Amino acid sequence: MNETLHYLLMVNHLAFQKALLMGIRDTNLTLGQPKILDYLRDHDGAVQKEIAAACYIEPATLTSILSGMENKNLIVRRMQGNNRRSLYVYLTKQGKELAKQVESEFCRIEEHALREFSDEERALLNDFLIRIKDSFEKKEDL
C-alpha cells in the first residue's frame, strides 16, 4: 500500500503543498489561494468556470476562495462584453506580486524535489505523468 500509485501521488502532492505553504507563510495566503494565484499568473482574465476546472475544484468552492481573495484585494471580478453570465477574474497589482512570489517558491521546491534527476529522467517522468493524466481524461470505461 505504501507503494501504490495512488498513495505515491497523494504523498507527493501533499508534501509539495505543505512545503509551499511553509515557504510562503509570510504572505498570509490561506490553503486554497496559492493555486488560484498560480493559475491566474498565466491566465489573467480567465472565467470562473475555467479556473475551477484547471484547479480541480468545484465552482462552489471557487466562489468562496475568490470572495476571500477579493476582500484582500488580490483579484477583481468583472462582467465583460455582452456576456452577463460569466465573471472574468483579474489579478490586482498586489495579486500579481504575490503570484510572482508563489511561482518562485514553486520553482524552488520543484528544483529541490528533482535535484538528483538527470534531464533525461525529468523528461521521462513528465511523460509518464502526462500519460496518466490523459488516461483519466478519456474516461470511456472508467
By CB under 7 A, residue 56 contacts DNA: yes
Rounded to the nearest whole angstrom, what is the least distance from the CB of residue 131 to DNA in the complex? 23
| Joined grid coordinates for residue 84 | 452577463
Residues interacting with its own copies, by CB under 8 A?
1, 3-6, 8-20, 22, 35, 38-39, 41-42, 56, 106, 109-110, 112-117, 121, 124-126, 128-133, 135-137, 139, 141-142
5: partner contacted, choices its own copies, DNA, none (Cβ within 5-8 A by kind): its own copies
Cα–Cα dist 59/56, whole Å: 9
Amino acid at 28: N
Pick from 16, 19, 27, 32 the residue near DNA by CB under 7 A. Answer: 32
The answer to whether the CB of 73 falls within 8 A of the CB of 94 is: yes
- The site string for DNA over 57-96 (x = CB under 7 A, - otherwise) reads xxxxxxxxxxxx--------x----xxxxxx---------
In angstroms, the Cα distances linking 55 to 1, 112, 140 are 27, 23, 22
Cα–Cα dist 15/21, whole Å: 10
